[in-house]
Amino acid sequence: MDRGAFWCFAARAVGTSEGYTAVSMRTYPTSRAILEHNRRFIPGGMFSLNREIEPAIVFASADGAILRDEEGNRYIDYHAAFGPFLLGHNHPVVSHAVQAALHDGSSLFGASTTRLEGKLAELICGSIPFADSCQVLNSGSEATYQALRVARAHTGRDHIIVMQGGYNGWHNDVACNVMTPLADIGPRQSPGEYPVVPLGAGIPAAHRALVHVINFNDLDSVRYVCERYPVAGLITEPILQNIGIVTPQPGYLEGLRQLANELGFVLIFDEVKTGFRHALGGYSTLAGVTPDLAVYGKALANGYPIAALAGKRELMDLFSHPDPRKRVLLAGTYNGHPVPVAAAIAVIETLRDGEIYARLEALGQLTDRYFAAMARKAGRPLTLSRQGSAFCIYFMDHAPVDWHDIATHHDFAADLAMRRAIIEKGIFPFPLPTKQWSISSAHNGEMIAQTFEAIGQALASAPAQA
C-alpha cells in the first residue's frame, strides 16, 4: 500500500493495485524535488495531509476545468480540490469580486460588523428556505464544531450520532470512522452501533465515549442509540460524499426528521459538499426534508475559505443569548474576512438564475450516457452513482447503501488502478478508491467523452480478476 494518504487509515480496505495496470509510466522529477524540499520544513511536506497522493504530482496552475502540474502536463480536473470548484478554477466573476474587495478599501476590521457581512447573510438565508439566520466561519470543520455545540447547549445533552462513512471535519467529536476496515468495525448490524475508530492520535477517550457511529440508511440504529444515551444531535451528510455518492434510501431523511422530533435531538445536515453544489438551498431542499441546523462550505465560495452554519432561530439565537451562561461562544479573528465573503456573494449571485444547475445536470446526464456505453464493453460489474454534478464509479453491481456495502462489494484495487491509469492520460480524479468525482460548469461534453474513453481503455488493459 502506498505511503500516506490520511484517508488510508482505510489501507486494509483499499488494498493495492498490484495485478492491474503497471503504475506510473510518467515520471514527475520536478514535483518530487518540490515535495522533498517541502518535507524539510513541513511535516509530510504539505499543509493538509489528506492531500498526499501517489503519484506525487505537484500542481502549478489551474484554469476552468484544467490543471497543469510542475512538469507541464495538462489534466481535466475531477477532484476540484475535494469539491469547491463548482464554477471551475479562477471563475472570472468570482475573481473579479475578490479583486474588487482587495482594492475598494475593504479590510478585516475586527470590530462590529460590515455591510458585506449583512449582504452575504441575507443571500444565504434567502437561498436556504428553513434558515432564519446564519453565521459564517472559515472552514467546514469549524462550522460542524459549532453546530454540535449548539445542539448540546440547546438539549443539555452531550452524546452525538455520526455516520460510518461520513466525514464532518477534523475535530474530536467527528474525526472517526470514514473508510474504516471492516476488521475494525465488524459486520453490518441493525440496530446497533460500531466501535469508534479515530482518524488519528490525540483524540481523548472521553470524547470518543460521547460519539456513536451507526450506518447510513439505518433508522433502527438511531432509535437504538437514543434509547441508551442522552443524544444531543445527529450529524450526517444527506448524501455520503466522502465515500463516493451514497444516496439516502426513500424515506430515510424523512425518518431522521421524525425521529428527531420524537426523541428530541437536533438534526444537523452536513451540506459542506452537497450544499450549493446540488441546489442553492442545499440537498435538503431537493429532498424536501428540513434539518434543524445545516452546515455549508466548499461550493459556497468556489474555492475561497468560508463556511456557513444556518438554521432555525431558536437554535441560532443561542450565539447571542442574553445570559452568558447559556450563550454559545462564537469567535474567530478571520470570520467574515472580506475576500471569501466577496467570493461567496459572487457565487450565490451567479447561481441564482438556475442556469448553471441546468448546465451541470446536462453534463451529468451526458456522464450517464458515456458511462453506460463504456460499461457495456467493460465486461465487469460497474455502477455509476450520481447526484447532479457529483458522481462515483463503483466496481460492483449495484449502487451502495452504506460503507459496509462498499467495503464488501467494491473492487478497490481495480478502482485505484483505473484512477492511476487515466492520470497518465491527462484525467485527474483523486487517486484514492471511492473518492467523489466533481464536474464544474467549466467542463464540457468533449471533456466528458475524453474521460470515458480513457476509463474504457484503462479497464480494457486491466481485465477483471476472477
Binder to ligand PMP among 9, 20, 167, 371 (CB under 6 A)? Answer: 167
Closer residue to ligand PMP (CB): 41 or 47 = 47
Binder to ligand PMP among 31, 73, 135, 144 (CB under 6 A)? Answer: 144
Q: Does 140 bind ligand PMP (CB under 6 A)?
A: yes
C-beta of 12: minimal distance to ligand PMP in Å?
22
Q: Does 438 bind ligand PMP (CB under 6 A)?
A: no
b/e for 340-363, b at 16 or more Cβ within 10 A? bbbbbbbbbebbeeeebbebbbeb
Compute the chain's Rg from CA coordinates: 22
C-beta of 307: minimal distance to ligand PMP in Å?
6
CB under 6 A: which stretch of 117-125, 247-255, 265-273, 366-374 binds ligand PMP?
265-273
Cell numbers at residue 431, please? 487517486
Binder to ligand PMP among 233, 275, 297, 429 (CB under 6 A)? Answer: 297
- Least Cα distance to 404 among 198, 219, 188 occurs for 188
Closer residue to ligand PMP (CB): 234 or 374 = 234
Closer residue to ligand PMP (CB): 168 or 451 = 168
Q: Mask of contacts with ligand PMP, 203-242, x by CB under 6 A?
A: ----------------------------------x----x
Per-position DSSP letters for 101-160, written without gaps between them:
HHHSS-----SS--HHHHHHHHHHHHHSTT-SEEEEESSHHHHHHHHHHHHHHHHS--EE
C-beta of 121: minimal distance to ligand PMP in Å?
19
C-beta of 136: minimal distance to ligand PMP in Å?
13
CB under 6 A: which stretch of 125-133, 136-144, 259-267, 409-417 binds ligand PMP?
136-144
Is the peptide bond prior to 381 cis by the omega test (within 30 degrees of 0)? no
Beta strands in 169-261 (DSSP E): 211-215, 231-236
C-beta of 240: minimal distance to ligand PMP in Å?
9
C-beta of 142: minimal distance to ligand PMP in Å?
7
Query: At 408, which helix (H) or strand (E)?
Result: helix 403-409
Q: Give residue 283's Cα distance to chain centre.
A: 13
Residue whose C-alpha cell reads 459572487 in the numeric block: 346
Binder to ligand PMP among 20, 75, 82, 403 (CB under 6 A)? Answer: 82
Residue type at 25 in one-letter notation: M
Q: Does 173 bind ligand PMP (CB under 6 A)?
A: no
Q: Does 270 bind ligand PMP (CB under 6 A)?
A: yes
Angle between helix 92-103 and helix 338-351 axes, rounded to 10 deg: 150
C-beta of 438: minimal distance to ligand PMP in Å?
11
Residue 376: Cβ-neighbour burial (10 angstroms; 0-12, 13-18, 19+): exposed
- Least Cα distance to 448 among 431, 429, 432 occurs for 429
Q: Which residue is nearest to ligand PMP (CB)?
A: 140
Residue 315's alpha-carbon distances to 44, 48, 146, 254, in angstroms, are 40, 32, 11, 20
Q: Does 141 bind ligand PMP (CB under 6 A)?
A: yes
C-beta of 95: minimal distance to ligand PMP in Å?
21
Closer residue to ligand PMP (CB): 297 or 336 = 297
User: Helix or strand or coil: residue 65?
Assistant: coil
Give the interface with ligand PMP as residue ranges (CB under 6 A). Answer: 82, 139-141, 144, 167-169, 237, 242, 270, 272-273, 297
